[in-house]
């Protein structure tokens, strides 16, 4: 995806006042709900810089008191695992029962 910021840093700012259309870069929005839960992906917004991305995210994804904190990050800055990773990345975590409390025996009647 090409973004305005990528394009326009290389040319004179006033040169972009042509009638051709503009697309602002995309930002991913993570909102932390009240009560200490972690930030969760809410969606995305278009914005030219971090400050307006934050403001837009606040107006778009926290209109109903959904959040106490917001993170925004340029979508192109996110590195994501690929579906091909699914096996090698996640399967090895499935056969390590010793990582779970049920793996360990405790004498009857003892409360842990």
Partner 1 sequence: MTPNKPETNTEDPARIAGFEARIAAGETIEPKDWMPERYRRQLVRMMSQHAHSEVVGMLPEGNWITRAPTLRRKMSLLAKVQDEAGHGLYIYCGTETLGVDRHELIQQLLNGTAKYSSIFNYPTLSWADIGAIGWLVDGAAIVNQTMLAKASYGPYARAMVRICKEENFHKRQGYEIMATLSAGTPAQKRMAQDALDRWWWPSLMMFGPHDTDSPNSDELLRWGVKRKSNDELRQRFINLTVAQAKAIDLVIPDPQLAFDEKTQNWLIGPIDWDEFWRVVRGNGPCNQERLAARRQAHDDGEWVRVAAAAYAAKQARAESTSEAA
Partner 2 sequence: MNAPFEYLLRLGDDRIILGHRLSEWCGHAPILEEDIALANIALDLIGQASLLLGLAGKIEGQGRDGDALAYLRDAVEFRNALLLELPKGDFAVTIVRQLFFSVFALLQAEALERSSDQELAGIAAKAVKEFRYHVRHSADWVLKLGGGTTESQNRAQRAVDDLWRYTGELFLADDVDRAAAASGFGVDPSTLENAWSETVRDVLARAGLTIPDVSYMQRGGRTGRHTEHLGHLLGEMQILARSHPGASW
Interface residues with partner 2 (CB under 8 A)?
Answer: 13-14, 16-17, 24, 45-48, 51-52, 55-56, 58-60, 63
Told to check if 8 binds partner 1 by CB under 8 A, we report yes
* HSE-CB of 32 using CA atoms within 13 angstroms: 11
Told to check if 9 binds partner 1 by CB under 8 A, we report yes
Rounded CA separation 108/42 (Å): 45
For the CA atoms of 102, 105, 109, 112, the dihedral, rounded to the nearest 10 degrees, stands at: -60
Kindly state the tokens that stand for 60. Answer: 């778009």
Told to check if 69 binds partner 1 by CB under 8 A, we report no
Kindly state the tokens that stand for 38. Answer: 């972690």
Nearest to 28 by CA among 10, 9, 42: 42
| Partner from partner 1, partner 2, none contacting 39, C-beta within 5 to 8 A by type | none
| Partner from partner 2, partner 1, none contacting 102, C-beta within 5 to 8 A by type | none
Question: In this complex, which beta carbon is closest to partner 2, that of residue 13 or of residue 80?
Answer: 13
| Partner from partner 2, partner 1, none contacting 55, C-beta within 5 to 8 A by type | partner 2
Question: In this complex, which beta carbon is closest to partner 1, that of residue 48 or of residue 54?
Answer: 48
Told to check if 110 binds partner 1 by CB under 8 A, we report no
Q: What are the strands, taking DSSP E only, across the chain?
A: 26-32, 40-46, 69-74
């Amino acid at each position: 995806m090409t973004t305005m910021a990528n394009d326009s840093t290389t040319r004179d700012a006033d040169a972009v006042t042509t009638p051709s259309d503009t697309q602002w870069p995309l930002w991913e929005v993570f909102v932390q709900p009240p009560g200490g839960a972690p930030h969760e992906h809410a969606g995305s917004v278009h914005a030219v810089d971090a400050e307006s991305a934050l403001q837009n995210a606040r107006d778009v994804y926290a209109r109903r008191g959904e959040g106490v904190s917001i993170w925004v990050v340029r979508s192109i800055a996110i590195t994501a695992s690929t579906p091909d990773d699914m096996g090698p990345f996640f399967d090895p975590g499935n056969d390590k029962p010793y990582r779970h409390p049920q793996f360990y025996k405790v004498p009857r009647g003892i409360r842990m």
